[in-house]
């Protein structure tokens, strides 16, 4: 009996991990693959390795939170498996409908539902987690907006990632020892840019491991059916499998969203999101990559769209922002461009792109999602009394 339940639990774990692998590989490697810097298979391999590293090190802190701190009692294996099913269900709904509900939120929600049903919920821990969930988007937005407004144009001028024809590096066999040297068309900038993209991808994969490995296996660890080390390996295998398979598609869907923004901006988003995710995971706060990413993206765009200087001045780079605060966003004497049949009576206002209500509506998903998973798990456990 116990073996059967454990087997079901492992299958559920694999399902959860597999889906996590799909989505987080998409985020971590979509931009690099999209830029043609590496292939999807290489990306999946790097992903698997760094997810393991993240899960094995920083991820243990999150594991402790999920498997022990949120609810006071040891949960039964059956309850753990049921929690995994709710996590899986959340992911399934998110994938099928394209709703951006972070896995970490579903996981904490389901475990909290069990805690409520058994009256063993550690309110202090939950409060602490929710506080960070509320703060994270704000931090992301602030970082994004600051960079987008003041730093991005300058960075954009200096940083160029090209992918020239021919191999990046070739082996120079002219000397006594073969040495790698630049391929045809390769420049210093290109080599540097490529290295940065790879390093940032690995960093993001690491943070994905730190934050997401516990989601897939914590309920099993919590019930004592699986100890931490094999659980981390199990999750890594599942995530890696997702990375090698469905990530081929998510690199275009999830990663495609990141590819809609310039690669430099994607890198800024990835660095910010990975740093937030790694730090919070280290502090034992369950968090998903997407939570740090989305508001950084919005911040970048918004910061740049609402900057009080005109594009021309920004390119010249010698504006006194203080003085031009009240300046019109569009240059009044700029010629009205009429290309083909397209007419634009008023100048385009980029700040139209970020309707606050649409952003709020989007973020409301982050309240509805975990609330639903808590409510479902609570209802389920109180009805069936499985614990």
Whether 91 and 106 have beta carbons less than 8 Å apart is answered as: yes
* 258 near other proteins (CB under 8 A): yes
* Straight-line distance from the first to the last Cα atom of the chain, in angstroms, rounded to the nearest whole number: 16
Helical H segments across the chain, by residue range = 2-34, 40-56, 59-64, 77-97, 103-118, 123-146, 152-158, 188-222, 228-244, 247-259, 263-282, 289-305, 311-316, 356-384
* 339 near other proteins (CB under 8 A): yes
Q: Which is nearer to other proteins, 202 or 290 (CB)?
A: 290
What CA–CA distance (Å, rounded) separates 214 from 104? 9
Kindly state the tokens that stand for 266. Answer: 């994607």
Q: Specify the residue for token string 């999602």.
A: 369
Least separation, in Å, of the C-beta of 350 and other proteins? 5
Q: Which is nearer to other proteins, 78 or 306 (CB)?
A: 306
Distances (CA, A) of 224 to 91, 168, 213: 24, 49, 17
* 35 near other proteins (CB under 8 A): no
Q: Which is nearer to other proteins, 80 or 301 (CB)?
A: 301
* 244 near other proteins (CB under 8 A): no
Whether 294 and 100 have beta carbons less than 8 Å apart is answered as: yes
* 291 near other proteins (CB under 8 A): no
The single-letter DSSP state of residue 172 is E
* 260 near other proteins (CB under 8 A): yes
What CA–CA distance (Å, rounded) separates 216 from 321? 48
Window of 116-124, 188-196, 236-244, 286-294 that interacts with other proteins by CB under 8 A:
286-294
User: How many other CB atoms are there within 10 angstroms of residue 233's CB atom?
Assistant: 16
* 305 near other proteins (CB under 8 A): yes
Kindly state the tokens that stand for 24. Answer: 């987080």
Kindly state the tokens that stand for 43. Answer: 């990306």
Q: Which residue in 22, 301, 369, 370 binds other proteins (CB under 8 A)?
A: 301
Least separation, in Å, of the C-beta of 262 and other proteins? 6
* Contact positions with other proteins (CB under 8 A) in 347-386: 348-350, 352-355, 358-359, 361-362, 365
Check residue 375 and give left, alpha or beta (phi > 0: left; psi -120 to 50: alpha): alpha
The residue count for binding other proteins (CB under 8 A) is 46
Q: Across-strand partners of 339?
A: 342
Q: Which is nearer to other proteins, 127 or 362 (CB)?
A: 362
Instruction: Choose among 202, 165, 197: nearest CA to 184.
Output: 165
Helical H segments across 260-305, by residue range = 263-282, 289-305
Q: Which residue in 124, 320, 343, 385 binds other proteins (CB under 8 A)?
A: 343
Least separation, in Å, of the C-beta of 163 and other proteins? 19
Least separation, in Å, of the C-beta of 194 and other proteins? 21
Site string for other proteins, 85-124 (x = CB under 8 A): ------------xxxx------------------------
Q: Which is nearer to other proteins, 7 or 99 (CB)?
A: 99
Site string for other proteins, 131-170 (x = CB under 8 A): -----------------x---x---x--------------
* 290 near other proteins (CB under 8 A): yes
Q: List contacts with other proteins (CB under 8 A).
A: 97-100, 148, 152, 156, 253-254, 256-262, 265, 290, 293-294, 297-298, 300-302, 304-305, 311, 337, 339, 341-344, 348-350, 352-355, 358-359, 361-362, 365
């Amino acid at each position: 009996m116990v073996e059967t339940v454990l087997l079901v639990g492992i299958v559920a774990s694999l399902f959860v991990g597999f889906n996590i692998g799909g989505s987080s590989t998409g985020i971590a490697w979509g931009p690099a693959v999209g830029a043609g810097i590496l292939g999807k298979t290489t990306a999946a391999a790097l992903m698997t390795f760094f997810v393991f590293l993240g899960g094995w090190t920083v991820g243990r802190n999150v594991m402790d939170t999920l498997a022990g701190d949120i609810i006071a009692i040891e949960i039964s294996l059956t309850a753990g498996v049921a929690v995994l099913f709710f996590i899986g269900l959340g992911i399934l709904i998110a994938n099928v409908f394209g709703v951006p509900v972070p896995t970490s939120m579903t996981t904490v929600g389901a475990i909290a539902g069990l805690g409520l049903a058994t009256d063993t919920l550690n309110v202090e821990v939950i409060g602490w987690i929710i506080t960070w969930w509320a703060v994270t988007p704000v931090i992301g937005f602030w970082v994004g907006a600051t960079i987008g407004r003041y730093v991005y144009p300058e960075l954009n001028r200096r940083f160029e990632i090209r992918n020239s024809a021919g191999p990046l590096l070739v082996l120079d066999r002219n000397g006594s020892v073969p040495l790698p040297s630049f391929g045809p068309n390769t420049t210093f900038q290109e080599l540097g840019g490529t290295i940065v993209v790879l390093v940032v991808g690995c960093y993001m994969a690491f943070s994905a491991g730190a934050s997401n490995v516990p989601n897939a296996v914590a309920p099993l660890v919590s019930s004592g059916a699986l100890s931490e080390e094999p659980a981390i390996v199990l999750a890594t295998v599942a995530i890696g499998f997702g990375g090698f398979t469905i990530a081929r598609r998510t690199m275009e869907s999830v990663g495609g969203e990141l590819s809609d923004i310039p690669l430099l901006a994607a890198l800024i988003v990835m660095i910010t999101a990975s740093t937030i995710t790694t730090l919070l995971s280290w502090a034992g706060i369950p968090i998903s990559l997407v939570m740090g990413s989305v508001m950084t993206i919005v911040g970048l765009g918004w910061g740049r769209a609402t900057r009080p200087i005109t594009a021309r001045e920004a390119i010249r780079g010698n504006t006194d922002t203080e003085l031009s605060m009240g300046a019109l966003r569009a240059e009044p004497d700029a010629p009205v461009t009429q290309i083909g049949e397209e007419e634009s009576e008023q100048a385009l206002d980029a700040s139209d792109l970020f309707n606050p209500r649409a952003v709020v509506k989007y973020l409301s998903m982050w309240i509805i999602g975990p609330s639903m998973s808590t409510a479902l798990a609570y209802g389920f456990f109180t009805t069936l009394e499985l614990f």
